[in-house]
C-alpha cells in the first residue's frame, strides 16, 4: 500500500530530538522520515533509534540528525513486486520511503500485515506497601498510592496508563493502610482490569514481597506506586527478551543531583547503581522487567529493595540491562515534586 499523504511523517534533521518524540507519539506507526531543509531524504527515525542514541549518551537537546538511521532502505519507484515485499518482511521492515532521483520523498510504501492484538499477557506488580514518610503529613491518613493527582489517585493513573497499552492483570503489594487501597480498587472491575493483592505483614522493601507471588512463566513488569509514566511497556518487554536480560531497568536521563542514585553502565549492561556524583546521569526510573526466575535470589519474609536484588543478580554474573526512557515520567514520591505537579 502506498501512503501518498506522508507529510505528517516528515521531520527535519536540524530539529531537536524532543520534537521527534512528540511527533512519534502522535503517529500510530512510530516511524518518521528525516529530511534536510531542502526536503531531501536524510534517513529514518524510530523509537528504537532514539533509545540507541540515548545509550550513546546523546541527549534530548541534540539534533535529530545525530539519532536517525542514515542507512535505511529506500525505493526509487512506486512499482513494487512480491519479491521486494518478501525481502522487506524477512528484514521486518514495515515502512519504506520512496525517493525521487533528486532525493525528494514522493511516498511511503506500507507493508500490510494482520493487525496484532494489543493485549499484553505479562502481569504488572505495583509496589504499594511503603509508609510514604517523605510525603507526610499527607500520608498520615491516606496511603501514598491514593494521593490525588489532578483528581485521580496515583495508583489509578498507573493502572489506566498501563491498561491503554494492553496490560490487563495487576498485582498490588500492600502494607501501610493497605485496606484503603483494597477498598478503593477492589478486584479492578470498575477500571476494566483484574486486580489481586499481596499482603505484606511487615514492610518488605521495594522487592521483598515479590517472593510471595505464585510461580509465573513470563517476565514480570514491576513498578513503584509513586511513578506515573507513559513508557512503552511493549517496547521494554521486547527489549528485555531480545537482550536476554535477567532484569531490565527503565532509566531516565536526569540532570538533578538530589534524590537519585546514578546508574553506571557500559553499552546496555548495568554495572552498578551508586550515589550521585555527577550532574549528568542516568537514574533508576522505578520501572523494571524481571525474569520469571527472580525468586532464586529472594528469601521469604526478608526486607529487600530492588537495588539490592539488582546488585545480587549482577554479582551472580546475570545480565542487567538499561532501557532508556524518553517518555514522560513523574515521581510523586517526593513532597516538593508532588506539590508542584499534583
pLDDT computed for residue 303 by the predictor: 84
In a domain, 290, yes or no: yes
pLDDT computed for residue 88 by the predictor: 66
Q: Which residue has the cell 521483598?
A: 208
pLDDT computed for residue 295 by the predictor: 86
What CATH number does the domain containing 20 carry? 3.10.580.10
Grid coordinates of 94 = 514495515
Q: What secondary structure letter does DSSP report for 280?
A: S
Do 16 and 68 form a contact (C-beta atoms < 8 A)? no
Does 157 share its domain with 59?
A: no
Do 40 and 12 form a contact (C-beta atoms < 8 A)? no
Q: Domain ends where: 110, 143, 166? A: 110
What CATH number does the domain containing 327 carry? 3.90.550.10
Number of domains in the chain: 2
Q: Where are the alpha helices (DSSP H) in the chain?
A: 17-26, 47-55, 64-67, 82-90, 154-164, 178-185, 233-242, 306-315, 335-341
pLDDT in tens, 175-229: 889 899 999 999 999 999 999 999 988 878 888 888 888 888 899 999 999 999 9
Does 313 share its domain with 208?
A: yes
Does 194 share its domain with 280?
A: yes
In a domain, 156, yes or no: yes
In a domain, 115, yes or no: no
Does 54 share its domain with 129?
A: no
Percent of the chain as helix, strand, coil, to the nearest 5? 30, 30, 40
Does 194 share its domain with 327?
A: yes
Does 235 share its domain with 276?
A: yes
Query: By three-state DSSP, how is residue 260 classified?
Result: coil
Does 263 share its domain with 208?
A: yes
Average pLDDT by consecutive 10-residue portion of the chain (342 residues)? 71 86 73 88 88 79 89 72 65 77 81 62 92 80 89 93 94 92 94 93 83 89 92 91 92 63 69 62 87 86 84 91 86 72 61
Q: How many CB atoms lie within 10 A of CB 223?
A: 25
Strands (DSSP E) found in 129-275: 148-149, 152-153, 169-174, 194-199, 220-224, 227-229, 247-254, 262-266, 269-274
Q: What secondary structure letter does DSSP report for 167?
A: B
Do 254 and 261 form a contact (C-beta atoms < 8 A)? no
In a domain, 79, yes or no: yes
**The whole model's pTM is what?**
0.76
Does 295 share its domain with 172?
A: yes
pLDDT in tens, 231-251: 989 989 999 998 899 999 998
Range of the domain at 71: 2-110
In a domain, 119, yes or no: no
In a domain, 267, yes or no: yes
**What is the rounded CA–CA span in Å between residue 106 and residue 85?**
19
Does 174 share its domain with 294?
A: yes
pLDDT computed for residue 186 by the predictor: 94
Does 128 share its domain with 102?
A: no
Does 168 share its domain with 230?
A: yes
In a domain, 117, yes or no: no
Does 134 share its domain with 106?
A: no
In a domain, 15, yes or no: yes
Amino acid at each position: 500500500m502506498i501512503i501518498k499523504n506522508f507529510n505528517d511523517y516528515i521531520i527535519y534533521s536540524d530539529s531537536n530530538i524532543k520534537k521527534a518524540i512528540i511527533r512519534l507519539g502522535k503517529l500510530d506507526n512510530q516511524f518518521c522520515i528525516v529530511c534536510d531543509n531542502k526536503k531531501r531524504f536524510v534517513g529514518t527515525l524510530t523509537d528504537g533509534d532514539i533509545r540507541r542514541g540515548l545509550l550513546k549518551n546523546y541527549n534530548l537537546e541534540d539534533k535529530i540528525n545525530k539519532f536517525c538511521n542514515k542507512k535505511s532502505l529506500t525505493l526509487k519507484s512506486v512499482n513494487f513486486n512480491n519479491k521486494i515485499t518478501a525481502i522487506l518482511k524477512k528484514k521486518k521492515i514495515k515502512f519504506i520511503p520512496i525517493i525521487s532521483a533528486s532525493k525528494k520523498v514522493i511516498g511511503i510504501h506500507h507493508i500490510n500485515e494482520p493487525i496484532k492484538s494489543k493485549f499484553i499477557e505479562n502481569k504488572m506488580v505495583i509496589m504499594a506497601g511503603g509508609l510514604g514518610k517523605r510525603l507526610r503529613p499527607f500520608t498520615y491518613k491516606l496511603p501514598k498510592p491514593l494521593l490525588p493527582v489532578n483528581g485521580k489517585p496515583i495508583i489509578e493513573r498507573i493502572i489506566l496508563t498501563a491498561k491503554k497499552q494492553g496490560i490487563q492483570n495487576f498485582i498490588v503489594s500492600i502494607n501501610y493502610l493497605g485496606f484503603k487501597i483494597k477498598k478503593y480498587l477492589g478486584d479492578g472491575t470498575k477500571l476494566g482490569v483484574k486486580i489481586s493483592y499481596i499482603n505484606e505483614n511487615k514492610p518488605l522493601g521495594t522487592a521483598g514481597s515479590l517472593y510471595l507471588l505464585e510461580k509465573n512463566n513470563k517476565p514480570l513488569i514491576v513498578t513503584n506506586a509513586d511513578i506515573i509514566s507513559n513508557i512503552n511497556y511493549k517496547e521494554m518487554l521486547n527489549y528485555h527478551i531480545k537482550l536476554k536480560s535477567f532484569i531490565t531497568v527503565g532509566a531516565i536521563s536526569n540532570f538533578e543531583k538530589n534524590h537519585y542514585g546514578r546508574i553506571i553502565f557500559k553499552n546496555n549492561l548495568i554495572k552498578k547503581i551508586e550515589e550521585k556524583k555527577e550532574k549528568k546521569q542516568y537514574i533508576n526510573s522505578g520501572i523494571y522487567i524481571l525474569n520469571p526466575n527472580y525468586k532464586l535470589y529472594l528469601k521469604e519474609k526478608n526486607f529487600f529493595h530492588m537495588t539490592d536484588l539488582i546488585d545480587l543478580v549482577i554479582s551472580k554474573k546475570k545480565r542487567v540491562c538499561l532501557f532508556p526512557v524518553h517518555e514522560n515520567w513523574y515521581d510523586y514520591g517526593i513532597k516538593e515534586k508532588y506539590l508542584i505537579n499534583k
